[in-house]
C-alpha cells in the first residue's frame, strides 16, 4: 500500500482559506475540472473503455485527477469519481449511458426495496476510490491539497428513487409527500453510508471533503429543512466529532438552495458553496463566519478572454480577498474551451 504519511503541502491555500486563515491570494479550482473539457482526459477515458471502468481503475482515476493540476494550474485536485458510487456500494448498481447520463436499472421506492440495501462498507465496496486517493496523493507529492467528496443524502435519494436524471425529480419528490417514513429511512441509510465513506476518504488522504447537494433547489424551504438539512448536519457532526477526521475542512454546496444559506452557515462545516444566482454581499451577511466558495456562471467561460477577466475581477472584488475560494457556481460544461478555463484560473491567480 502506498505511503500516506502526512506530507507538508507546498500549496495549502485552499485549506487555509477554508479554515479562515489569512491567504496571500484567493485560491481557485473548478467543479468537474477532471473531465471532458480536457483532451488528455478523453484519451484516458478512451483507453479505459467506459466512464465506470475509468472510475473503478485506481491508477487511471488517479491519472485524470492530477491532469488539471498539471494542465490548468488549479490550487486543488478533486478525486475523479462520482456521487453515484455510494448507491452502488449500498447494493444498487448504476450504468452511465453515453450522451444521457446515469441510469439505475432498479430503483428504491418502498420499504421492501430498501430491505435489499445495506450500509456501505467503504473498504469492501469502495476500496477502488480509496486506492485512487492513495495513488493520487503520491502523484501529487504535496503540490496541492486533494479534495474528496460525496453527494448529499437528498441528492442521492433523488437518483435512487427516480432511477435517472430528471428536470423535476417528481418521482423522488412525490415520495416525500406520500411516504415520508420510507423517505426518512432511505435518507438515513444513505447518511450512515456517507459518513463511513467520507471518514475513509480522509483516512486515504483527502485533505478536505465536499458534499454536493445538486438537487437541493427543487425543494421548498420547509422540505429542505425536513429532508435534506438534518442529514447534512448529521454528516458534518459525525465527521467533526471523530478525532482522526475532525480537523478536515468540510464544504457544503447546495445548488439552488438560496433560502438555506443561513442555515447551512450554522452547520458544523467550514465552507459554503454558492451557485451564480446567489449574491456575494448578501451571502456574506447570511454566512458571516465561514468561507464562501464560488460562484461564476459556468457560461462566462464561453465569453471572450477580456470579458472572463472582467467577470473574475468583479467576483473577487465582491468576495475578497479573504475567506473566499474561487470556483464556478456549478461544474464546468464539457464543451468549454480549456484555454478559457486557463484564462479564468490565471485571472484569479494574478489578481
CB neighbourhood size of 17 (10 A): 27
Least Å distance between CB 60 and ligand CP3?
Answer: 12
Non-local (6+) Cβ contacts of 112 within 8 A are: none
Residue 207 among the catalytic residues: no
Q: Which three cell numbers stand for residue 292?
A: 464562501
Widest Cα–Cα separation across the chain: 57
The 8-class DSSP code of residue 183 comes to: H
In the complex with ligand CP3, the residue whose CB is nearer, 23 or 129, is 129
Least Å distance between CB 50 and ligand CP3?
Answer: 8
Least Å distance between CB 333 and ligand CP3?
Answer: 9
Least Å distance between CB 322 and ligand CP3?
Answer: 25
Per annotation, catalytic residue among 19, 36, 143, 342: 36
Is there a binding annotation on residue 16? no
CA distances from 251 to 12, 202, 241, 263, 264 (A): 16, 14, 16, 14, 10
Q: Which three cell numbers stand for residue 95?
A: 450504468
Is there a binding annotation on residue 233? no
In the complex with ligand CP3, the residue whose CB is nearer, 82 or 346, is 82
Is there a binding annotation on residue 82? yes
Q: Are 27 and 14 in contact (CB under 8 A)?
A: yes
Is there a binding annotation on residue 62? no
Is there a binding annotation on residue 50? no
In the complex with ligand CP3, the residue whose CB is nearer, 96 or 351, is 96
Distance CA 319, CA 299 (A): 20
Residue 261 among the catalytic residues: no
Residue 45 among the catalytic residues: yes
Per annotation, catalytic residue among 19, 25, 42, 82: 82
The residue count for the chain:
351
Least Å distance between CB 12 and ligand CP3?
Answer: 20
In the complex with ligand CP3, the residue whose CB is nearer, 102 or 249, is 102
Per annotation, catalytic residue among 19, 32, 143, 284: 32
Strands of 208-213's sheet, edge to edge?
Answer: 77-78, 146-151, 208-213, 250-254, 271-273, 291-296, 324-328
Per annotation, catalytic residue among 16, 45, 109, 323: 45
In the complex with ligand CP3, the residue whose CB is nearer, 80 or 197, is 80
Is there a binding annotation on residue 214? yes
Nearest to residue 71, comparing CAs of 346, 350, 325? 346
Is there a binding annotation on residue 42? no
Q: Are 246 and 269 in contact (CB under 8 A)?
A: no
Q: Which residues bind ligand CP3 (CB under 6 A)?
A: 31-36, 45, 51, 78, 80, 82-84, 96, 101-102, 149, 165, 212, 214, 331
Nearest to residue 251, comparing CAs of 337, 183, 152, 165? 152
Per annotation, catalytic residue among 16, 75, 134, 159: 159
Residues recognised as catalytic: 32, 36, 45, 82, 159
Per the annotation, where are the binding residues? 32-36, 82, 159, 214, 330
- Binding-site residue numbers for substrate are 32-36, 82, 159, 214, 330
Amino acid at each position: 500500500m502506498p505511503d500516506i504519511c502526512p506530507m507538508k503541502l507546498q500549496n495549502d491555500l485552499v485549506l487555509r482559506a477554508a479554515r479562515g486563515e489569512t491567504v496571500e491570494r484567493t485560491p481557485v479550482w473548478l467543479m468537474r475540472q477532471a473531465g471532458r473539457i480536457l483532451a488528455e482526459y478523453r484519451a484516458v477515458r478512451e483507453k479505459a473503455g467506459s466512464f465506470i471502468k475509468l472510475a473503478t481503475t485506481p491508477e487511471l482515476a488517479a491519472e485524470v485527477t492530477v491532469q488539471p493540476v498539471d494542465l490548468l494550474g488549479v490550487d486543488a485536485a478533486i478525486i475523479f469519481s462520482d456521487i453515484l458510487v455510494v448507491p452502488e456500494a449500498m447494493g444498487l448498481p448504476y450504468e452511465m449511458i453515453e450522451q444521457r447520463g446515469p441510469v439505475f436499472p432498479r430503483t428504491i421506492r418502498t420499504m421492501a426495496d430498501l430491505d435489499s440495501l445495506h450500509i456501505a462498507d467503504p473498504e469492501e465496496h469502495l476500496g477502488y476510490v480509496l486506492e485512487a486517493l492513495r495513488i493520487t496523493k503520491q502523484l501529487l507529492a504535496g503540490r496541492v491539497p486533494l479534495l474528496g467528496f460525496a453527494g448529499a443524502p437528498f441528492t442521492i435519494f433523488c437518483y435512487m428513487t427516480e432511477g435517472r436524471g430528471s428536470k423535476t425529480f417528481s418521482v423522488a419528490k412525490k415520495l416525500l409527500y406520500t411516504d415520508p417514513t420510507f423517505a426518512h429511512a432511505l435518507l438515513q441509510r444513505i447518511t450512515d453510508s456517507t459518513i463511513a465513506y467520507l471518514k475513509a476518504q480522509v483516512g486515504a488522504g483527502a485533505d478536505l471533503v465536499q458534499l454536493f447537494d445538486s438537487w437541493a433547489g427543487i425543494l421548498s424551504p420547509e422540505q429542505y429543512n425536513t429532508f435534506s438539512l438534518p442529514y447534512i448536519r448529521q454528516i458534518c457532526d459525525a465527521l467533526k466529532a471523530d478525532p482522526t477526521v475532525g480537523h478536515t475542512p468540510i464544504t457544503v454546496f447546495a445548488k439552488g438552495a438560496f433560502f438555506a444559506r443561513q442555515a447551512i452557515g450554522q452547520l458544523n462545516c467550514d465552507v459554503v458553496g454558492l451557485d451564480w444566482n446567489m449574491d456575494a454581499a448578501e451571502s456574506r451577511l447570511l454566512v458571516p463566519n465561514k468561507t464562501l466558495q464560488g460562484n461564476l456562471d459556468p457560461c462566462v467561460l464561453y465569453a471572450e478572454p477580456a470579458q472572463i477577466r472582467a467577470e473574475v475581477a468583479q467576483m473577487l472584488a465582491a468576495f475578497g480577498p479573504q475567506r473566499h475560494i474561487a470556483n464556478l457556481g456549478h461544474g464546468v460544461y464539457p464543451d468549454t474551451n480549456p484555454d478559457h478555463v486557463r484564462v479564468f484560473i490565471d485571472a484569479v491567480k494574478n489578481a
